[in-house]
Amino acid sequence: MAGPVTDPRAAAAGTPTRRGTEAALLAFAVLITVAAQAIVDLTVTGALRPEMATFSVWITALWVVAHLVVRRFASYADPLLLPAVALLVGLGLTVIHRLDLAAEVSGDTASREDAPVQLVWATLGVALFVAVLVVVRDHRTLSRFAYTLALLGIVLLALPAVLPASISEVNGAKIWIRVAGFSIQPGEFAKICLVVFFAAYLVDKRDVLALASKKVAGLELPRGRDLGPVLLAWILSILVLVFERDLGSSLLLFGIFVVMLYVATERASWLFIGLALFAGGAMIAYQIFGHVQARVNTWLDPSEYYDGAGYQLMQSLFGLGTGGLFGAGLGGGRPDQVPVAKSDFIAAAVGEELGLFGLVAVIVVYLILVERGLRTSLVVRDSFGKLLAAGLAFAIAWQVFVVLGGVTGLLPLTGLTTPFLAYGGSSLVANFVLVALLVRISDAARRPAAQHAAPIRLGDAPTEVVVP
């Protein structure tokens, strides 16, 4: 977290760019990725696969390109963001490859090799990362497209709901668009569009939303007429839950909105109102929807539902428990016994093979990513950037918490993907865009004021002193 930053604009010229740190950390991430891939191959098949050389060159090239683009277009960016992502993506690729091999070993011919596909997605992700940095030179320009992005976000979110189930439904969740062999989860992109919109909208309206009407039990409640936006976000979340049966996205969007509302208004009452709305929504959802009930019951006692809905979670827990402190070693466990280990339950595979230490390390890398994002938010000068960075960073945090909590039995399962780690193109590519935005804002945050003068806001304009 940030130290006491009194006035960010006081940052002196000559602030180090820290690009060397980033390069060193990226090299470390690449080293770990390549070593982990080699260990998997050697443990499972006893030999390095021929594609190993191509893979090493490819993954190195990806991060070299990303680094050079950051160097050129965001030279003051936070040096930890990209390496954290590189480490997570590399580990994800390794675990997916490891699960590919497991399927091969068990003679499961139905499953295809997913690691090369994921590498293509990662490449596309880096391409979009580069595109965002090149095109969006100043994050504040995004606020101009806030309402366009809101519309786009809602369309993306609603698209699977209105499309026929044959195109949009997988395993009961109607959150997909499947076209020509590709599966896209538009919700992942909608998340970013909506965060941008929330940031722009809340910066605009925060003064109004911060107005208090009366004080109840030490809590300054907002005026009744200002409840509109939060109710709208709540309804949107409920609609997602009803029409797409997607508990995860519903929870994610509402959580992000409430926290951004709180940050924008500095009114804790919004958190309580959000919590109350969530509790109400959850109760209603539990009463009405069978699949929500099933999720909750399975969460409370997975062992009881072992032969059905609880099987996946129990296998995850068995894997984690068997992994213990140090894990079975990459390639040494049976992570393939957990159904859909590559996407939803990839953390279980990490915990089984890398043990408690490995899994906690991954959680800490996420924590670094999130806290660097929040630090960017603290330091950046403009309100929109602040709120946007906070929203994006919290989006990662909230998603990681909900997913890992689900996989480890702390929370009911929601079906979100683990950012950067899990198999899934939409999630990976979308999160690259998200991180590109964070990198862009962090560049603005750390860039010395002299080089990148902050826009003069009306409130900050020097008051003319009229000498009588």
Partner 1 sequence: MNAPLRRVAISVLVLFTLLIINVNVIQVIRSDSLRGDSRNTRVLAETYDRERGSIIVDGTEVALSVPTDGRLTYLRTYPQGPLYAPVTGYHSLVYGNTYLEDVMDDVLSGEDDRLFVRRIADLFTGRDPAGGDVVLTLDPAVQAAAMAGLEGLTGAVVALDPQTGAILGLASTPTYDPGLVSGHDPAGIRANMDGITGQDPDPRLNRAISENYQVGSLFKVIVSAAALADGYTPETVVPAVDLLQLPQSTATLPNFNGSSCDPDQEQPLIDALTISCNTAFGQLGIDLGEDAVRDMAEAFGLDDEGMEIPLDVVPSGVGTIESEAALAQTSIGQRDVRMTVLQAALVAATVANDGVQMAPYLIDELRAPDLSVLEETEPEVLREPISAEVAEGLTEMMVSVVERGSGRAARLPGIEVAGKTGTAQVRPGVPDHNWFMGFAPAEEPEIAVAVLVVNGGSTGGDLSAPIARDVMAAYFEGRG
Residues that bind partner 1 (CB under 8 A): 1, 5, 42, 105-107, 259, 262-264, 266, 268, 306, 314, 317-325, 333-334, 337, 351, 355-356, 359-360, 363-364, 366-367, 370-371, 374-375, 377-378, 383, 386-387, 390, 394, 397, 400-401, 404-405, 408-410
What Rg do the C-alpha atoms of the chain give, in angstroms?
Answer: 23
Closest separation between CB of residue 178 and partner 1, Å?
A: 31
CB 229 within 8 A of CB 197: no
Smallest distance, partner 1 to C-beta of residue 255, A: 11
The distance of closest approach from Cβ of residue 286 to partner 1 in the complex, given in angstroms and rounded to an integer, is 22
* 8 A C-beta contact, residue 385 and residue 355: no
Compare residues 122 and 253 and give the one whose CB is closer to partner 1.
Answer: 253
Q: Is the CB of 168 or the CB of 399 nearer to partner 1?
A: 399
First to last CA, the chain: 48
Shortest reach from residue 5's CB to partner 1, in Å? 8
Q: DSSP for 5-45? A: -S-GGGPPTT----HHHHHHHHHHHHHHHHHHHHHHHHHHT
Nearer to partner 1, 47 or 217 (CB): 47
Least Å distance, CB 233 to partner 1, is 17
Residue 174 pairs in a beta bridge with 169
Q: How far is the CB of 410 from partner 1 (least distance, A)?
A: 5
CB of 61 to partner 1, least distance (A): 31
Q: How many other C-beta atoms can be found within 10 angstroms of the C-beta atom of residue 322?
A: 16
* Nearest to partner 1 of 106, 148 (CB atom): 106
CB of 117 to partner 1, least distance (A): 24
C-alpha to C-alpha distances, 7 to 4, 12, 33, 53, 208, nearest whole angstrom? 9, 11, 40, 49, 26
**What tokens does 339 get?**
């159904």
Contact between residue 97 and residue 40 where contact means Cβ atoms under 8 Å apart: yes
Closer residue to partner 1 in complex, CB, 96/400: 400
| Residue number, 281 or 333, with CB nearest to partner 1 | 333
Choice between 125 and 319, CB closer to partner 1? 319
The two tokens of residue 198 are 């929330």
The one-letter amino acid at 452: H
Report the residue number, 85 or 400, with the smaller CB distance to partner 1: 400
| 171 vs 303 by CB, closer to partner 1 | 303
CB 95 → partner 1: shortest distance, Å?
A: 16
In a 13 Å sphere around the CA of 154, the CA atoms on its Cβ side amount to: 13
Query: Can you tell me the distance from the alpha carbon of 137 to that of 440, in angstroms, rounded to the nearest whole number?
Result: 8
- Per the CB < 8 A criterion, the answer to whether 17 and 393 are in contact is no
Q: Torsions phi, psi of 212, nearest 5?
A: -105, 145
Min CB(123)–partner 1 separation in Å: 30
Nearer to partner 1, 183 or 408 (CB): 408
Q: Which residues contact 54 (CB under 8 A, 6 or more apart)?
A: none
Give long-range contacts, CB 8 A cutoff, 24+ apart: 130-137. Answer: 130/65, 130/66, 130/69, 130/436, 132/433, 132/436, 132/437, 132/440, 133/69, 133/70, 133/73, 133/74, 133/436, 133/439, 133/440, 134/69, 134/73, 136/436, 136/437, 136/440, 137/73
